[in-house]
Chain A
Amino acid sequence: MMKRARQKVVIENESPQTLQKSKNQKTCLHGSAFGESDLHASMDWGSLPHHVILRIFQFLPLVDRARASSVCRRWNDVFHIPDLWRRFEFELSQPATSYLKSTHPDLIQQIIKRHADHLQYVSFKVDSSTESAEAACDILSQLVNCSIKTLGLISTAKPSFMNVSKAHFASALTVVFVNSKSLSSVKIDDTPLDDPSLKVLVANNSDTLKLLKMSSCPHVSPAGILCVADQCHGLKELALNYYILSDELLLALSSEKHVDLEHLRIDVVSENPGQVEFHTIKKQSWDAFVKHSPKVNIVMYFFLYEEEFDAFFREETPVTHLYFGRAVSKAMLGRIGMNCPRLIELVVCANGLQPLDDELIRIAERCKNLTAMGLGECEVTCRGFIEFVKMCGGRLTQLSIMEEVLIPDNDYSLDRLHLEVSKHLGRMWFPDMMPTW
């Protein structure tokens, strides 16, 4: 470790420029006397009080902090104060194939050796290689004496955790789940999470768990998530895939002991077109759910093929945010108008070549809470679109439509359209335009 000679700094009348970062600095350094050289001769950067250095370090990114820690022993001590190690994001990638930064292995070792106990908010960002995911699991397995509150496993590209053996993954998670006992937020989308691991999570953290995001975890069953709902009464945010959503789950989340849920996100995904029959959720279950948590945001992401929407929105459904990532059928959009009175936001990536005028107008009529809409590869006549905007008026705070979507008709050209829409929205508005050249 490099040790630089202590520097004697003579402090003039002006406040030191380099210590702008913390106002506390001035009072600590100057005390009550200015410009008295004998008082200041004994003060140097190395003898700043710990809490002052700590405060400064908290502003610095890790790389700079690490450099600073090599300056002198005192600064090095501060570098290792537990407060600076509460939050850490391990970035794991294989340099040969990724541009994403990677946490230095020495640093990882140091953290495991000296700071595992201090970690409270931990995340792992991995690239698409299995090695990175395995490295993440190895680290997790060593966090034995920790009391982690927040855990996040983030796959930046491919879901590389899915390539880790189930056993390895489960045992790594178990270490954290069992030892932390105070997990409040767990984000483990796109992992081989399974029911037994969920049981362990619940057994040890049911009092503290508030957020659980587990979209695209194909080994979890409806029973597995039900266990969470039954035991974790403080759960406020949940993200999962549609196939494990059940009437029982909604009812469990609505039990008296359960707090209000704030955010429920449901991903509806199909990999094999036409091969999955989606089950339906009973209206009573939704009703009970919303009755219990009247302010809940229900966010649904659909990645289905056109012919797969039949099961959805045949009855009133309290969804608030809808995203259609692939195509969506005209009939489905019609049903949304009929049955989604709580709808706040709607984004349609792609529809087809039939104009959606009627469907949009019905949505404007019946979805009185709609404030945001985005339309991608669809077709809407100018007249229909203006009608829609007129009916929504100023409550549409966000409106995005690709210019190519709009079909000019007898009543409106694109030029007139943008003026009309601007008028109804009460602000200058243009569709999204791409350059033509």
Chain B
Amino acid sequence: MLHRTIHLFRKGLRLHDNPALLAALESSEAIYPVYILDRKFMTSVMHIGALRWHFLLQSLEDLQKNLSQLGSCLLVIQGEYESVLRDHVQKWNITQVTLDAEMEPFYKEMEANIRRLGEELGFEVLSLVGHSLYDTKRILDLNGGTPPLTYKRFLHILSLLGDPEVPVRNITAEDFQRCRAPELCLAECYRVPLPVDLKIPPESLSPWKGGESKGLQRLEQHLTDQGWVASFTKPRTIPNSLLPSTTGLSPYFSMGCLSVRTFFYRLSNIYAQAKHHSLPPVSLQGQLLWREFFYTVASATPNFTKMAGNPICLQISWDEDAERLHKWKTAQTGFPWIDAIMTQLHQEGWIHHLARHAVACFLTRGDLWISWEEGMKVFEELLLDADYSINAGNWMWLSASAFFHQYTRIFCPVHFGRRTDPEGQYVRKYLPVLKNFPSKYIYEPWMASEEEQKQAGCIIGRDYPFPMVNHKEASDHNLQLMKQVREEQYGTAQLTRDDTDDPMEMKPGCKAAPGLSDGCERLAAGSWRC
């Protein structure tokens, strides 16, 4: 019996490599491609800023366009998902609902509710994995039922697992001919809303435009561009990498506009042919593996996006300081490197991963000693590629709450920027008030004399804030706190830690020359300051 199917897009906003959609087409005589815009649900589970709404709407527009080219259309229905489904299952005589299997707890709950509804109203539910390289369960099984908690161990498990799932075949117009598309009037009724309909600003100023088509374009550019190897692996030496990337792909992966499996296999083909290449993890394939790592750990760790009740996360009494958090969030720390990054984040919705490290370290273990959960919420709101598990995982990493243990390496908000971009082009672009400072002072303008500040047309304390902390004092202090925490919670810290190869990380009780192990801590005072 052929089904009458609603295919529910949640992420997976694409037609290529979409296992659930393909399964729907192959098993149905009529198909309704639906996106339920349940604003209440969406804003209750994640913060969404204006830029990401724009990206989403653009992605939906693109999906709609691509579907109509194949003789179908996208139906965007606004409302609470359960009542929307109730209405339309009856209206359209639906016998099957297909959707991507997603691992976030709120999506799992949604799927469970839909299944319950299916039992009640008499429709089947089919969900297939399409958002990750591997079926997470296989990874867990190979690791004895629990997730590998260090990246190195994860890579080891993957090496046993072999290659990821292969992308499924492309969908064609024939598929939609066999399978009747929704009536035309519906397309009119359920068109993609405009920004004004959602009460967000009409224009997005971000250079990133959503959608599968744009994603695929970038993918092609990425793969055909000869320079990508060098530029990706040495971001530190090329300041251009801080600027909005024309070949970056992370927001497209996070919304599912691009299939990670497709990308993985395209890259593999290139590696097989090319002589000069760099392989994981600094490379592009590495980006996918990091993503996979955090998904895997998140899928099997309770309270992954919180500190409380999270078994792998150090329990730290972070400061609660709304004013300092606000300064960080609104790019008023007085440290140009930090403020420029936060400005780019607000304006464009994307910052380079080294920039993320810098601001995350500053907020948490480096300078302000504010909880990583606060930073995570801000990123969630502002980043186009905000992803439930990856965002949380990275924040835990960067705050040294889990996964990362060289807490003595604190990024200096002055020196890190200076080394990455000695002339300060990036700062000048995003903080034009500082653009006339000479490179000598661009990262620490408070060091310039009053005369020099006048010449630069910017008086520190008036036109641009004083630095909100004394970095050396704050970081020294925080280093001691972190040291205490780690001594007290040694067990938790060990969970996400490899056997260390780092001579600076001496395990307690290990044989060391007298005085050497405390020397390693002493090294922190003034050292490893990036």
Q: Mark B287-298, 1 if CB is under 8 A from A, else 0.
A: 100110110000
Assess A413 versus B513: contact at CB under 8 Å? Given A398-B503, A400-B502, A437-B290: no
| Cβ contacts under 8 Å, B481 to chain A | 99-100
**B65: Cβ under 8 A from any A Cβ:** no
Query: Contact string, A115-140, partner B, CB cutoff 8 A, digits 1/0?
Result: 00000000000001000000000000
Known: A157-B473, A400-B501. A436 touches B287 (CB 8 A): yes
B201 within 8 A of A: no
Residue of A nearest to B369 (CB): A99
A347 to B484, CA, bound (A): 24
Q: Which chain A residues lie closer than 8 Å to B476 at the CB level?
A: 157-158
Is A2 in the interface zone, CB < 8 Å from B? no
Closest to B254 in A: A437
**Which of B419, B476, B527 has most chain A Cβ within 10 Å?**
B527
CB-CB under 8 A from A237, the residues of chain B are 514-515
Q: Which residues of A contact B276 (CB under 8 A)?
A: 408, 410, 413
B477 contacts A128, C-beta separation under 8 Å: yes
Residue B385, interface by CB 8 Å: yes
Question: Could you say which of A325, A374, A407 contacts B234, with CB atoms under 8 Å apart?
Answer: A407
Cα separation A433 to B405 with both chains bound (whole Å): 12
Distance (Å) between the CB of A270 and the closest chain B CB? 11
Contact B502 A415 (CB under 8 A): no
Write the nearest CB–CB distance from B98 to chain A, whole angstroms. 29
**What does the 1/0 interface line of B508-530 toward A look like (CB < 8 Å)?**
00000111100100110011111
How many angstroms between the C-alpha atoms of A263 and B514 in the bound complex?
7
A409's closest neighbor in chain B, by CB? B276
Judging by beta carbons under 8 Å apart, are A415 and B390 in contact? no
Q: Which of A100, A404, A416 contacts B236 (CB 8 A)?
A: A404
Count residues of chain B with CB under 8 A from any CB of chain A: 62
Residues facing A in B339-387 (CB within 8 A) are: 353, 356-357, 385
Min C-beta distance of A212 to chain B, whole Å: 11
- Give Cα distance in the complex from A413 to B286, angstroms: 13
Bound-state CA distance A404–B287 (Å) is 14
Any chain A CB within 8 A of the CB of B250? yes
Is B394's CB under 8 angstroms from A430's CB? Answer: no
> B477 to chain A: which residues have CB within 8 Å?
128, 156-157
CB-CB under 8 A from B385, the residues of chain A are 437
Measured CB to CB, the closest approach of chain B to A64, in angstroms, equals 16
Tell me, in angstroms, the Cα distance from A413 to B522 when the chains sit together.
35
**Are the C-beta atoms of B317 and A263 separated by less than 8 Å?**
no
B514 touches A262 (CB 8 A): yes
Measured between alpha carbons, how far is A436 from B291 in the docked complex, in Å?
Answer: 9
With A265-B515, A303-B526, A374-B502 already in contact, the answer to whether A436 and B281 are too (CB < 8 A) is: yes
Contact with A along B137-166 (1 / 0, CB 8 A): 000000000000001100110000000000
Contact B406 A239 (CB under 8 A): no
A376 at the interface (CB under 8 A from B): yes
A227 beta carbon closer than 8 Å to chain B? no
Kindly list chain A residues whose C-beta atoms are within 8 Å of the C-beta of B516: 263, 297, 299, 321
CB contact list, B269-317 vs A, under 8 A: 276-283, 286-287, 290-291, 293-294, 317
How many inter-chain residue pairs (CB < 8 Å) link A and B? 148
Determine whether the beta carbon of B237 is less than 8 Å from that of A353: yes
Known: A301-B523, A323-B527, A326-B526. A347 touches B279 (CB 8 A): no
What are the residues of chain B within 8 A of A321 when measuring CB–CB? 513, 516, 519
B525's closest neighbor in chain A, by CB? A325
Q: Which residues of B contact A297 (CB under 8 A)?
A: 513-514, 516
Complex Cα spacing A92 to B61, Å: 63
Residue B397 interfacial (CB < 8 Å): yes
Instruction: Choose from B280, B287, B498, B529 the contact partner of A437 (Cβ within 8 Å).
Output: B287
A100, A263, A407, A435, most chain B CB atoms within 10 A: A435
| Residue B68 at the chain A interface, CB threshold 8 Å | no
Q: Do the beta carbons of A413 and B393 come within 8 Å of each other?
A: no
Q: Which residues of the other chain, B, contact A265 by a CB distance below 8 angstroms?
A: 515, 519
Pairs across A and B, CB under 8 Å, 16 listed: A128-B473, A156-B477, A158-B473, A262-B514, A297-B514, A301-B522, A349-B528, A373-B503, A374-B504, A377-B419, A408-B278, A428-B156, A434-B353, A434-B404, A435-B394, A435-B397
Chain B positions within 8 Å of A, measured between CB atoms, are 151-152, 155-156, 229, 233-237, 250, 276-283, 286-287, 290-291, 293-294, 317, 353, 356-357, 385, 390, 393-394, 397, 404, 406, 409, 419, 473, 476-477, 480-481, 484, 498, 500-504, 513-516, 519, 522-523, 526-530
Besides the known contacts A321-B513, A347-B503, A437-B385, 13 further A-B residue pairs in the complex with CB atoms under 8 A apart? A157-B476, A157-B480, A265-B519, A299-B513, A325-B527, A349-B527, A404-B282, A408-B278, A410-B276, A432-B502, A435-B394, A437-B353, A437-B394
